[in-house]
Amino acid sequence: MSIFKICILEKNWLKECENVETDLCLHGRVNVIIGDEVVAENYDCTISSTAIYLLKSLTNNHYMDEMSNQMLPCCGHFIIPMEDDTVEISGCQVGVDWSVIHKGNSVSIKTRRGTEININIDEYRESVIKFVDEVEQFYINSGKKVLPEDDFYKKGYSQFWNEWRERRYGISEKL
């Protein structure tokens, strides 16, 4: 069965934050279905990280691995700006993951349980963009974020959105 469904059930800033304007990572609950397997049901994760990883998977292969970022990471402690103008998000080892491997005009998606589907890249892109746009709209509706004073964190957040715009819209900006 060639089904890939990912949907956001709830979006929120961390309740522990003193000020939601300083919480840079969007959290929430999601459902994911791959083939006939329910991969995640009402799963609490850092959905802003999921969105950037999904965007990356539109052009890059993503392999399940204990040491790599999960597609549904539990947390994102900080955004690491990389020299190639991309970002990695550091979190814990808890999360839900699957592989996305490009094969011509399709992608092969494989779960930890071994479910594997092949889906047309356009269909996959449509699911990813719907998810990504919903996350972005929440950021827009939430108002301006207050960036940390530390240059490392500030650069990470700026680079996160630069990479997002480049991957989502093909717009390259240096802030």
* Cα-based angle 125, 94, 23 (whole degrees, multiple of 5): 75
Buried b / exposed e across 147-162, counting CB within 10 Å, b at 16+?
Answer: eeeeeebebbbbbbbb
* pTM flag (> 0.95): no
Count CB neighbours of 103 within 10 A.
10
pLDDT in tens, the chain (175 residues): 579 999 999 999 976 656 677 888 999 999 999 999 999 999 999 999 999 999 999 999 999 976 678 999 998 878 999 999 999 988 888 899 999 999 999 999 999 999 999 999 999 999 999 999 999 999 999 988 888 899 999 999 999 999 999 999 997 655 4
